[in-house]
Each structure stands twice: as structure tokens, then as C-alpha cells.
Amino acid sequence: MNPVLLGGKVEGLELPQHHDFRPLRLTPEELRRRMGALGWDRVVAFPTRHAMHRPQFELTARAARELDAHLLEIIEWHFNPATGCPYWLNWAAKNFDPRKEIKSFDDMLKFPHFADESLRDEQPEVWVPAQFKGKPYNIFETGGTTGMPKQRIGWNDYKVDYSEFSDKISDAHFPRGGAWLMMGPTGPRRLRLAIEHLANVRGSSCYFIDLDPRFVKKLISNKQFDVAKQYMAHVVDQADLIMKNRRVSGLFTTPKLLEALAERVNLWEAGIRGVFCGGTSMKPQEVRFIVEELLEGRIGFYPTYGNTLMGLAASVPLQPEDNFSVTYYAPQPRAVLRVVNPKATNETVPYGEWGRVELTTLTKEFFCPRFLERDEVIRRAPRPPYAWDGVGDVRPFGAMEKNIVEGVY
């Protein structure tokens, strides 16, 4: 064919329409409901163009943008002399100014891992942001077994975390106005005020049974197992007494204490309708035992993963395909969890693989970059309603190589 030359005025033509079928972009949960309504109960897989469903991809991208915006606000707050605290202002003077260097969450790799020994060695005043100066603060211990405990100060962060968590629990399991019972560590721990605030937010009051986890860990480390059992029985005795004499519908406790209490009391007959369970290590078989045996499949179960530095990560409701493996999601953007390679902590592990937990806390009350937790987890993909990574099957770091003393947790 010979070449053809064209001349004259060029007119723009309307571009062809490329439909992306937005109404058909369904999350896995929405798709499951739609197929259930059609009576399709034998669908085992949904082929997609991408590994992640398009709506979830868009939510994840938006969450990343929101995290970057929140991060820049927090960096400006903590490293501006008008608002920041002495500790981080001194750190910036000796290292670098994050306000110039940090432009997105990926840039957080420029920070070294936070050394939590400073929470023990420094006086609390060095953590007070300038904008909070003169306001009395709460002092919360972070755990430990012996020696001077590490401490975090705070004002309202625990209220924000637990007010948000209130939206994730059902009124059927935690009736508004129904009394709660907390059986666990109170004293100098953030958890005591947090649980009471959560109950109050839901129009309820809370009874408390105290427990000293440092004492229990010491007993177990010293192989004083009989004394540890006596102490646990003492705690359970008090809870049993409250439940026999007061109407209680909601319970907070740890997995081990829950098992000890359920051996003594039929929780359903005692009026318990929901259990909010804290504690890091719960194997799938232990979760199944709690759900099917202790709670008889009719008491709501809400496991959480958290600590004084992070707040709490809520779990997604268990589905049959989970096989009782619990997945938790951090309260992003106030706290971010990465699952990193223990031998190369700048790298995250692939989904479905084990790694060490790295925590970054981003609130105006507390800034904690890249703290390596003493936990290891399986990295899990985003899952509605969460648009960021989750962590599953939490256990103490190195649990497969050495004995770990967890006490009542």
C-alpha cells in the first residue's frame, strides 16, 4: 500500500467510553451476601484481575494517603518547639529535623528503632508536649517483671481508643446500661481506666477484681507454681462472689483467667452475654475451646491485641474459613503495625508469613517510631472494614526457640 498524505483542519473526536462498572465493584463481604441471597452456597473462589478486590484496593490507597497526612501533622507537632516535648526536640537537635526529612510513612525508615528504656530512665516531664504543659497527666506502667517499670504518660488517648472500640461491639453482647466486671491488671495500668471509660461510654458501670501480673510472673519464674495457683484461685474467688451477688452482663479478662472462671461458674447462667478478652497469645485451638466450650457458642467473644504504647487493635469477627485464627487491626492512623523480617527490620515479610511486630504510635500525646515489640505474628492482608495490614496468631517473639513466661496472659 502506498502512503497517503492528508491535509486540512483537524477536528477533535469524542473519545470512546470505557466503562469500569463501578456498581459491580463489591467487597468480598458484599459479594458473599449477594450470592447468599441467590442461594449460591457452593462458591469457593472469585477470580479477579488483581490479588486485591478493586474496592478494597481503593480503600487501601485512600487509607495510605490519610496516614501520610496524619503523620505529617504529628511530626510537625512533636518537632516544633512551640508544641513538642523536650525529649524529641533534643533528639532532633542531635540527629535530624523530621519536619524536613519525613514526607510520607515510607520515610519513617530514617528513624532508628525506638528504645523503650528511655521510658524507664527519663523523668516523665521530658515527654510532656509544650501544649500540654501544666496539665496533670496519668502515669501508666508498661509491664515488666522486676526493677523500675517503664512508664508512659497520657491524658485522653485511652478515651479516644476505647470510645472508638465501643462502636465495634454489639449491644446484644454488651447491653447498654448493663454492668461490667473487669478481672485483670488494674493498679498503675492504662487498662483499668480504659475499661471503665468503655463501660461508661456505653452507659454502664464496672466492678473490678485486681491482679498483679508482675507478681505472677515472678512466682512462675521462681517455679512457685503452687503459690501462683493459689493467687489465681484468690482472684477467681472474688469474681465468683461478685457474679453471685450482682447483675453483670459484660466481662473483661485474660484467656487464662477466663478458663479458670468458667471452671467455677456457668457464664451464661450467671448473666454474661459478652466477653472482651485481652492478652497476646491465643492459638487457634485455644480460641476454639473458648468459643465452643467456655462460651458455649452463644456468648459474644471479642479478643483484642494491645498494650500501653499502642492502645488496642480490634479483631475482625471470626468466619468459618478462619479456622479460629484471630486477626487484629491497629487503630490506624493513631498507631501503625508492620510485620518485619527480624534479621532485616527495614523489610516487611510477605503476606501469610511470620515476622516481628514493629509499632509506630502517632498521637499528639505520644510519638513512638518503629518500636520492635516482643511479639511475632503472621502478616495478614487488609480485610473489611480495615484498609490496612493486620496481624494474626500473635505469640511471644522467639516462642518456638525458647520458653516464655507469660503469667496470666
The H-or-E segment that residue 250 falls in is strand 250-253
How many residues are recorded in the chain?
409
Q: Tens of pLDDT along 330-377?
A: 999 999 999 999 999 999 999 999 999 999 999 999 999 999 999 999
- Residue 136, C-beta contacts closer than 8 angstroms, at least 6 positions apart: none
Residue-level pLDDT at 393: 96
Determine the Cα–Cα distance for residues 35 and 339; give it in Å rounded to an integer: 34
Q: Comparing C-alpha atoms, which of 198, 146, 193 is closest to residue 176?
A: 198
- Residue 8, C-beta contacts closer than 8 angstroms, at least 6 positions apart: none
Q: Which CATH number is associated with domain 50-396?
A: 3.40.50.12780
pTM of the model: 0.84
Positions of the chain with pLDDT lower than 70, given as ranges: 1-2, 4-7, 9-29, 43-55, 143-146, 279-280, 399-409
Cβ 68 vs Cβ 105: under 8 Å: yes
